[in-house]
A and B are shown apart, each in its own frame.
Chain A
Amino acid sequence: MKTKEWLIEKTLLLMALSAVAMLALIAIFVFIEGTPIMAREGLGHFLLGRKWAPTKGSFGIFPMIVGSVWVTIGALVIAGPLGLACAVFLVEIAPRKVADIVRPAIQLLAGIPSVVYGFVGIVVLVPLIREHLGGPGLSVLAASIILGVMVLPTVISISQDALEAVPRTYKEGALALGCTHWQAITRVILPAARPGITVAIVLGLGRAIGETMAVIMVVGNAVKVPAGLLDPARTLTSNIALEMAYAGGDHREALFATGVVLFMFIMLLNSLAALRFGRRRPSP
């Protein structure tokens, strides 16, 4: 009995450790491959340089940093409110039957491969933007919308969990004070679910920053700091994915360095989220 438990415990520990080790190895590898060129080029030049001509010795990824930030924020502006509204609707407003149909449908949305999103983007969304708003259509806006839709399931389902975890008694308490349903939602349920909703947003953000395939197809990939939503841009991930296949030497290192920057971004995001959570934990 004792030995069996011991064995199980150690096995689990080993598995957990190996997962961590694997992640650490990937991180170390990316750093080893990516940092030398940053050192050679100078971190400032690398991060703030605006010219990216990797086969001709120019390695400035500033346009990609800006592109990533824009596209990610754009996706969030779309997926945040929409996802939260959807979650509130499903948990609080929709009749049971409707919710039971919509929920799996949203999960389905999460299962669609990103190429499909990208393709729909190119064939439907991009022409729409081009015709009605101007510009080449391939743009920050197109990428934000596609990404927004892609992270929607994440935002919805985690917000949903957060809303459902709010004790029913809060809502009853508010209603018993003569609040309307809407007041109960905005004044009690949403504030009580805020930590969970923040998690939803952060996870959505992480997914948005990391998504590549669909973005490559609709963002235009122009190496240029976008001047507006209708301009094409290139993101850090699309930069790597676009060029990695053929890259060698300095070019390849510069792409790894792009990965390092991406890595830092995500770390920053997660620590920000962790900080926010650390602040206050609701007691039962």
Chain B
Amino acid sequence: MAGSTSIQPIAELLADRYMAQHAGPAVEVQGGGSSAGIRAALSGAAEIGMSSRQLKPEETGLKEYLMARDAIALIVHPGNPVRSLTKEQVRGIFSGRVQRWEAVGGRSGAITFITREEGSGTRGAFEELVMGKETEIAPDGIVQDSTGAARAIVATDPDAIAYISLGMVTPEVAAIALDGVQPTHESATDGTYALTRPFLLLTKGEPTPKARAFLDFVVTPESQATIAEEGYIPVKPAGRGSGA
């Protein structure tokens, strides 16, 4: 399988589990990006393609399997009065154009924004869903290489803002609404919350038996629980701890 680098880590994790439990040929996971994944599935270079975006109308001939959803929450310090931002404001903040909280209706203070490292899947999703093609995340922002660190900083800094996977939000920080929609499990699932994207597995036509077995494995309650643990939104009710 090949494709989205956002899906790659969780796919690798699941592939390892799968291979530990099932004898037979190895499951190989490669990156390359969503478009490459779609091309690989179409050309047959990969039995399963991975895409973290919806297929475009012209990309036809593929069967889609939803393995999970990824939703990104913007988090601030619980004491920060700002509880809602527009996408435009968020873009302004992370591109370095908007530097003060009072400019977005908050208390007076300089904004400290925290982004993830180049290559991180969460960063990729954020860039794709918020920043768009035109704007870049300012290079001089604070960079942290883990959700935990980003969250710990926001938990202690009243002027900080960061983005993390929705499943990783804890009560030490406050997730804020985007364009008036609070990020929740429901709003992410029904699509009203904008910062969400599907994790799609793609096959050309009917999957091979080998691919079929893995696709089935991905939606077992255990796998879905793993997905929830990793901070993504499961698509099937998971066995334990499914409420993320």
A interface list, Cβ under 8 A from B: 51-56, 118-119, 122-123, 126-127, 130, 136-138, 216-217, 220-224, 232, 234, 241-243, 245-248, 251
> Given contacts A126-B153, A216-B145, are A53 and B119 in contact (CB under 8 A)?
no
With contacts defined as CB atoms under 8 Å apart, how many contacts are there between chain A and chain B in the complex?
A: 76
Question: How distant is B13 from chain A, measured CB to nearest CB, in Å?
Answer: 14
Question: How distant is A103 from chain B, measured CB to nearest CB, in Å?
Answer: 33
Nearest-CB residue, chain B, relative to A252: B119
Q: Is the CB of B152 within 8 A of A53?
A: no
Indicate which residue in B117, B136, B156, B159 contacts A221 across the interface (CB closer than 8 Å): B117
B140 interface hit (Cβ, 8 Å): yes
Question: How distant is B16 from chain A, measured CB to nearest CB, in Å?
Answer: 16
Q: Is the CB of A243 within 8 A of B119?
A: yes
Q: Is the CB of A51 within 8 A of B144?
A: no
> What is the bound-complex CA distance between A219 and B75, given in angstroms?
21
> Given contacts A136-B112, A138-B153, are A242 and B143 in contact (CB under 8 A)?
yes
Question: How distant is A82 from chain B, measured CB to nearest CB, in Å?
Answer: 26
Known pairs A216-B144, A221-B117; list 12 more (Cβ under 8 Å).
A55-B118, A118-B149, A119-B152, A122-B156, A136-B142, A136-B157, A136-B159, A216-B145, A221-B144, A223-B143, A242-B143, A251-B119
B171 interface hit (Cβ, 8 Å): no
> What is the bound-complex CA distance between A137 and B136, given in angstroms?
24
B92 interface hit (Cβ, 8 Å): no
Residues of B within 8 A of A247 (CB): 118-119
Q: Is the CB of B117 within 8 A of A222?
A: no
B120 interface hit (Cβ, 8 Å): yes
Residues of B within 8 A of A54 (CB): 118
Q: Is the CB of A222 within 8 A of B140?
A: yes
> What is the bound-complex CA distance between A127 and B152, given in angstroms?
11
Indicate which residue in A137, A217, A248 contacts B144 across the interface (CB closer than 8 Å): A217
B243 interface hit (Cβ, 8 Å): no
Q: Is the CB of A220 within 8 A of B142?
A: yes
